[in-house]
Amino acid sequence: MMLTPGIAPPPVPPLDILEPNPVPTDSRKRVYAYEEDHGAWAVRLVWDADDPELLEAECRAPYYDRRLPAEDVPKFWAAVKALVAPIGPLPVESADPRP
């Protein structure tokens, strides 16, 4: 039996809640995401199988002319902590209040 080499299967996402999120402009990208609504804003987790050491957490809110209100920042980080709790505490490499 002869096997031909092919693309290695992607690593397993670090969280069960992450679902495949196809990238329309690049079908080769293997991106997984999860979004949770919190009223005026939402938490979005994004994981790229091509860079498995990085798990991004985004705060998505319709604020175009200002930053997230100061009282919502601790709520955002609490929501992120709750979502990533199954894999333990993670280091925060950077935090950017504006996209």
pLDDT tens series, the chain, 99 aa: 667 677 667 689 999 999 999 999 998 889 999 999 999 899 999 999 989 988 999 998 887 777 788 888 899 999 999 999 999 888 888 776 554
Measured distance CA(54)–CA(12) in Å, rounded: 13
If one counts every other C-beta atom within 10 angstroms of the C-beta of residue 49, the result is 16
What residues have CB less than 8 Å from 70, skipping those under 6 apart?
A: none
Query: Could you tell me the residue ranges of all domains in the chain?
Result: 19-87
Q: Give the pLDDT confidence score for residue 72 in this predicted structure.
A: 87
State which H helix or E strand residue 36 sits in: strand 31-37
Alpha helices in the chain (DSSP H): 73-84
Q: Give the pLDDT confidence score for residue 69 in this predicted structure.
A: 84
pTM of this prediction exceeds 0.75: yes
